[in-house]
Structure 1
Amino acid sequence: MKTNKFIAVYHEWADMINTGEIAPLSKLPSENELAQKHETSRETIRKALQMLAENGYIQKIRGKGSVVLDVSKLSFPVSGLVSFQELAKSMGKETRTIVHEIQVVKPDERLQQSLHAKCSDEVWKVLRVREIEGEKVILDKDFFMRSFVPSLTKEICEGSIYEYLENDLGLPISFAKKEIVVEEATEEDKSVLDLDGFTHIVVVKNTVYLEDASLFQYTESRHRLDKFRFVDFARRRS
């Protein structure tokens, strides 16, 4: 399938901004210069620049052109339901997953409420640290109902659990309810993350459901404050 020219232009410049080849606050070439460089029309360039603006890469300022914004923070979607491995591929950064704990536990009162579980149920507890470009900046605490996920291994947890659940177990993961809060870092956070002096972290809490609305997972993704921005696309309805 042939890719629209403006999308190719968008990706080329977005990649250069993401990698730092184009510094924040610098200006992109004019529409005419870009059209000549890419051997295309100004209309195609306008569409590419509009995409860059909509996705937070540039700010178009009258009389000054297209100014590059600081995208050094890593972008995580608010409304999307994606795995860390999927995000890692899109970020294009060196990442590593370190499994700290994997075991079957009986849910405490808090987990019983979060998973709608009974005290007699069994739950997989998985603690993983996400390292990005040498810094440990995310602690993922995942809890899966064992009735839906009979087995897990360290090898699976070092890769993509969602890939295993969907491809091997055939679980139709459908939607999640999210809550985003800022909390004081716990002793556990301090012991496994490179907090770089920060005393608080951003916590994204998810309850995840299957297609039949069965609740099978509760997760807390605990992020170092300075490294992440949570993004979504919003359009005002008329």
Structure 2
Amino acid sequence: MQGKSESRMYDELLVMIESGEIKPRGQMPSEHELVQQFGVPRLTVRKAYEQLESRGYVNSVKGKGRFVKEASKQVKLHLSTGESFTEKMLAAGYNLRTEVFKAEMGEDVFKISRLRVLDGEPIAIHTSYINRSLFPKIEIEGSRITSVFAYYQSCGYTTFSNGKSVLSVQFPSTDEQERLNCSAVVPLIKLSGSTMDAGSGELLERTEILYRGDKFTYELDH
């Protein structure tokens, strides 16, 4: 029963926020006020607030209370593995920074993992498994690659096509939480796919991209 009470309390507080009853930067009711209003234990209120904080709806200010956070601007993203994420973000006017945090050789592929930071905020992890046989210098050049598509173009591949794409949802590991600066309850949108050279049909890479689910709105082809 206690779990249900926490869920109801969470829902009540979320309605206050999403309905606009309490505006961004506005102060939420104190724990004492909610205990009196809803007749629930203080622990129930506290746990509901902890959920709201972990999901990014409110923040605590020591000695002052809890306040509604301003909604972050949603990034519009067309989900396609055949286009450059870098080009899409720069064309939309964002300040994009890419950090390579893993570059290693596999048996048939070269794995590159990059953190995408948009306007100072980490929002995605891109991992590319590049076909080693097509890029003989990849072991030397791989750790410096921030835009994989730009690298392919420098190697003579100019037009690309997509293989089958799979969209799924997962929650971040401890390492992903740290890199993306998010809590364990923030969903990640995972896009798995592949990219081929449109001319020859050769497989250039397999990709796994993790997008923060609270930072994007997504567009899909019909």
Q: Same fold (TM over 0.5)?
A: yes
Q: Secondary structure at the match of 1:165?
A: helix
Instruction: Give the structure 2 partner of residue 175 of structure 1.
Output: 162
1:161 lines up with 2:148 in the alignment: yes
- Alpha-carbon distance between aligned partners in 2 of 1:79 and 1:141, rounded to the nearest angstrom: 15
Instruction: Give the structure 2 partner of residue 150 of structure 1.
Output: 136
AA aligned to 2:75 is L
Q: Secondary structure at the match of 2:133?
A: coil
1:207 is displaced (CA, Å) by 1.5
Instruction: Give the structure 2 partner of residue 20 of structure 1.
Output: none
Say if 2:82 and 2:160, in contact at 8 Å, map to a contact too: no
| Equivalent residue runs for 1:207-222 within 5 Å | 207-211=194-198, 212-222=200-210
AA aligned to 2:136 is P
Q: Secondary structure at the match of 2:165?
A: strand
RMSD: 2.4
1:184 lines up with 2:184 in the alignment: no
Say if 2:111 and 2:130, in contact at 8 Å, map to a contact too: yes
1:227 lines up with 2:218 in the alignment: no
Q: Which deviations, in whole Å up to 9, do the C-alpha atoms of 1:61-80 show, x marking residues without a partner?
A: xxxxxxxxx99311111347
The ranges of structure 1 where at least 4 consecutive aligned residues each deviate by more than 4 angstroms after the TM superposition are: none
What TM-score, normalized by structure 2, do the two folds share? 0.59
- Alpha-carbon distance between aligned partners in 2 of 1:218 and 1:173, rounded to the nearest angstrom: 13
1:209 is displaced (CA, Å) by 1.7
Say if 1:99 and 1:154, in contact at 8 Å, map to a contact too: no
- Alpha-carbon distance between aligned partners in 2 of 1:213 and 1:146, rounded to the nearest angstrom: 16
1:89 lines up with 2:101 in the alignment: no
Q: Which deviations, in whole Å up to 9, do the C-alpha atoms of 1:165-216 show, x marking residues without a partner?
A: 1233336422332111101212331231111563421101112222333223
Unaligned runs of 5+ in 2: 1-70
Q: Which deviations, in whole Å up to 9, do the C-alpha atoms of 1:1-44 show, x marking residues without a partner?
A: xxxxxxxxxxxxxxxxxxxxxxxxxxxxxxxxxxxxxxxxxxxx
| Equivalent residue runs for 1:118-129 within 5 Å | 122-129=108-115
Instruction: Give the structure 2 partner of residue 206 of structure 1.
Output: 193
Residues 127/155 of structure 1: CA separation in 2 closer, same or farther (3 Å cut): closer
- Alpha-carbon distance between aligned partners in 2 of 1:221 and 1:74, rounded to the nearest angstrom: 15
Residues 163/182 of structure 1: CA separation in 2 closer, same or farther (3 Å cut): same
Say if 2:109 and 2:132, in contact at 8 Å, map to a contact too: yes
AA aligned to 1:179 is V
AA aligned to 1:202 is I
1:135 lines up with 2:136 in the alignment: no
- Alpha-carbon distance between aligned partners in 1 of 2:116 and 2:193, rounded to the nearest angstrom: 17
- Percent identity over the alignment is 20
Q: Secondary structure at the match of 2:86?
A: helix
AA aligned to 1:175 is N
Q: How many residue pairs end up in the alignment?
A: 149
1:157 is displaced (CA, Å) by 1.3
1:101 is displaced (CA, Å) by 1.0
What TM-score, normalized by structure 1, do the two folds share? 0.56
Q: Secondary structure at the match of 1:177?
A: coil
Q: Secondary structure at the match of 2:164?
A: strand
